[in-house]
A = this chain, B = another copy of it.
Amino acid sequence: MNDQELAELAERFRGMLRLAVFVSRRLDGSSDLSTTQVSILNMTEGAGLRMGVVAANLGVRVPSATEQVARLERVGLVERRADPSDARAVVVVRTPRGDQAAEEANRRRTARMVTVLDTLEADELEALRAALPVMDKINEHLHTLSNPKERLS
């Protein structure tokens, strides 16, 4: 693939990201937990994660993660525990009620997504499936790179 083709693909892929935001908006509306909050629940299953890791996974700064976690804590879906190995750190862990809420939120959202995918042909579904690991790779690559926003303004 030459530079010209790559640039063209890049441009179309940019468009796809915008569509993804649009699609998310349509699918996640009318729900008690935000996408971000469900993400936090999903990543804090089991042993839990430190606040900084939560922030990194979300792609936001630490204070933003603190805020979301605080909100989830207020409604009893996660807990903040002291990290035994480092008294500065905090470990975010899902509570049993958090487990339940996560399970339900995921089920509902997945069901809604199924109704969308149901309108696609078999080969289209296959194309989606094939693209998933590529997105994962892109994501992984970006994780190793830059920080969140760092606005210029």
Contact = CB atoms under 8 A, between A and B. Distances in A.
A116 B138 contact: yes
Given A17-B24, A124-B137, A150 B30 contact: yes
A20 interface: yes
Given A21-B24, A31-B152, 17 more contacts: A7-B114, A10-B113, A11-B113, A12-B132, A15-B132, A16-B135, A17-B24, A22-B142, A23-B142, A26-B142, A26-B148, A30-B151, A120-B138, A127-B130, A127-B133, A127-B134, A128-B134
Contacts of A119: 137-138, 141
A34 B39 CA distance: 24
A13 to B, nearest CB: 6
A131 interface: yes
A125 B3 CA distance: 13
17 contacts: A11-B113, A13-B117, A16-B131, A16-B135, A18-B35, A20-B135, A21-B21, A22-B59, A23-B135, A25-B149, A29-B150, A30-B150, A119-B137, A127-B127, A127-B131, A128-B134, A130-B131
Q: Is the interface of A mostly helix, strand, loop or mixed?
A: helix
